[in-house]
Structure 1
Amino acid sequence: MDLLAAMGTFVRVAELGSLSAAGRDLKLSQPAVSQKITALEQHLGVRLLNRTTRHVALTEAGRRYYSLVKPVLAAVDEATEMVAGADSPLRGHLRIQAPTGFGQMYLADIAIAFQLKHPGLTTELMLDDRFVDLTEQAVDLAVRFGTLQPSGIIARRLGTLRRILVAAPAYLAKHGTPETPEELSAHRQVRFSWAATDDVMPLAGPAGSRLVAVPTSFLANNTFVLTKALVAGLGLGGAQLPQIRAELATGKLVQIMPAYQYAPLDVHAVYPTSHFLPAKVRAFTDHLRSALSEII
């Protein structure tokens, strides 16, 4: 039995809660995963998992073993990289997660360029507007916007996104151009469906932050859809400056009330809790930060 491989398989089963899910993640058949777990249990002389037809759960011994094995595997990876040296080619699988709109507009090209520089690596880009569990999904690095909630993750700030108020010229011609926050209540806004403020627009201006009630006309959970709605004249709204530069340049959208903006969004690379970041993750983070410095 390859003990390290069996330990790694057990860790993924424990994190995903399923033999078949771990098999898909590790590119192994479900029977192969089961065989590795059984061999590991026989080697240890204890049951690590309670199995049902659809789910597995850690036994008490399994929970203890998982907590001990996880840092051991990280230490093995760290030792391997230290011995191999900094000039060794990057290898393995790099899984990146990011919001859909940002990923389609910018991160896809950034990830492709990184893959071309490191052909020995397999790069996987997962686009999802939800905050996925990094450990459960085996994500090496995720791109997240805004204030990070304390959740055990580690992060590196990559830059800041400006968010400005915009509208289509046709909308303004029909409804007028607001000059002050008070005038916004007579308008309709286009916004993200998951915005915590509902029909309240959080603005930062000369006198500080304030909340302005603005009825909503259209909601979506995708940046490209919201941009289309703004261009179509469904309302006014906030938009990340890099993502609407083309619409501003062609006049499809114009900035309004320049003294008032949404609060800037910090952009972070976040990682699962770990004292050790693999070389592939450190290299992509540096590559990503350099690329974003030319965009945001």
Structure 2
Amino acid sequence: MDMLNVMTTFVRVAQAGSLSAAGRDLGLSQSAVSQQIAALERHLDARLLRRTTRQMTLTEAGEAFFQRARRILEAVAEAREAASGQSGALRGPLRIHAPVGLGQAQIAEAAISFQKHHPEVVPELILDDRIADLTAEGIDVAIRFGSLPASSLVARRLGTLTRVLVAAPSYLARHGVPADIGELGRHRQVRFNGAPGGDMIPLLGPQGLVEVPVPTVFKANNAHALNLALIAGLGLGGAQMPLVRRALAEGRLVRVLPGVAYPALEVHALFPDAGYRPARVQAFVDHLRAETHLLWAAAPEEADPRVAPAQAVRPDPDPVRQRRRGGEPPTRDG
């Protein structure tokens, strides 16, 4: 039995959650994958997988073998890279997880240009807005923005993501342009599903952090869908500056209350753990930071309205709940 080959198959099955998905990733038929797993279980005299009609999970023995096999495969990959390090060529698979909005454009472009520079690396870009399990899914690096919960993941800061309040000219023509934060309560908003504050819009201006209740007329869990709703004139709302720069330049969207902005979101590259990290993963993150640094390093008036001339802000104490404090609160994607 080629133990390294079989371990590779088993680890991919555990990460993919099914024989068929692992087979697609490895270029094997489902029956070939099944035969390898069966042979491994016979060799170890242990049941590694628990199969039902709906799902496949690891047994206790399977979980223990998975963790050890994964570390062995990482050590083998590290040894191979060290042995071939003189050539300077990067090679191998690179699984990248990113949110859909930024992933469709900036992260995808960075992955494409990285592959052109390193033709023996095979990037696999996984785009969705959920919180992925990096270890279980075999993800090398994940791009996330917003506050990071305590975990064993290793984070590298890439920068900050600026969000601004925008609306379509057609919406403002119908509903008027708010003169200050207090007038936002008479408008309606487009926002992310499950935003921490619900209908509250948090804005950072010269007087500190202000939260305004604004009725919601449209929600989505995808930045592109929200931007479409904003451009269509359904309401005003927060938008990620890298995703709406073109719409702002073309006049399809305009800044509302340009003297204020949403609290900035930290952008991080996350790695499964502090152990071995393939050179191609580190090289990709370096490349990503170099390619996108202008996106994260916004102009001063975008990053913090307190450093630029701002419109007068006169919060209405009735609909507005205002807090003044030094730090910015944790925020979620959106």
After TM superposition, is the score higher than 0.5? yes
Aligned to 2:219: 219
Task: State the Cα distance separating 1:259 from its structure 2 match.
Answer: 2.9
Would you say 1:259 and 2:259 are equivalent positions?
yes
Higher mean Cα deviation, 41-50 or 142-151?
41-50
Verify the 8 A CA contact 1:18 1:54 in the aligned structure 2: no
Question: Which residue number corresponds to residue 6 of structure 1?
Answer: 6
Q: In the alignment, is residue 228 of structure 1 matched against residue 221 of structure 2?
A: no
Q: Which 4+ residue blocks in structure 1 deviate beyond 6 angstroms?
A: none
In structure 2, relative to structure 1, the CA distance for the partners of 1:13 and 1:290 (3 Å cut) is same
1:53-132 aligned at under 5 Å gives the runs: 55-85=55-85, 87-132=87-132
Residue 3 (structure 1) shift: 0.8
Task: Give the alignment's Cα RMSD to 1 decimal.
Answer: 2.1
Is the CA contact (8 Å cut-off) linking 1:199 and 1:213 kept in structure 2? yes
The answer for unaligned runs of 5 or more in structure 1 is none
Identical pairs, percent? 55
Contact 1:164 1:261 in 2 (8 A): yes
Q: Counterparts of 1:102 and 1:3 in 2: how far apart (Å)?
A: 40
Q: Distance in 2 between matches of 1:185 and 1:35?
A: 63
In structure 2, how many angstroms separate the alpha carbons of the residues matched to 1:49 and 1:220? 37
- The match for 2:186 is 186
| Matches of 1:16 and 1:127, distance apart in 2 | 15
Aligned to 2:19: 19
Whether contact under 8 Å (1:159, 1:292) holds in the other structure is no
What one-letter code is carried by the residue in structure 1 that aligns with 2:195?
A
CA contact (8 A) 2:6 2:37 kept: yes
The amino acid across from 2:242 in the alignment is P
In the superposition, the TM-score normalised over structure 1's length comes to 0.90
State the partner residue of 1:284. Answer: 284
- Say if 2:184 and 2:214, in contact at 8 Å, map to a contact too: yes
How far residue 230 of structure 1 moved from its aligned partner, in angstroms, is 1.9
Structure 2: distance between partners of 1:169 and 1:53:
53
User: Offset of 1:248 from its aligned partner?
Assistant: 1.8
Letter in 1 for 2:217: S
The Cα of 1:53 is off from its aligned counterpart by: 5.6
Shift of residue 160, structure 1, vs aligned partner: 0.9
2-side partners of 1:105 and 1:60: how far apart?
A: 41
The verdict on how the C-alpha distance between 1:6 and 1:166 changes in structure 2, with shifts beyond 3 A counting, is same
**What does residue 34 of structure 1 align with?**
34
Name which of structure 1's ranges 281-290 and 241-250 shifts more when overlaid on structure 2: 241-250
Larger mean Cα displacement after TM superposition, 59-68 or 188-197: 59-68
TM-score, reference length from structure 2: 0.81
Residue matched to 1:245: 245
Contact 2:199 2:216 in 1 (8 A): yes
Residues 111-154 of structure 1 show CA distances to partners (whole Å, capped at 9, x for unaligned) of 11111111112222222122222233322222111111223222
Residue 286 of structure 1, CA deviation: 0.7
Conserved? CA contact 2:167–2:233, under 8 Å: yes
The residue matched to 1:42 in structure 2 has which SS? helix
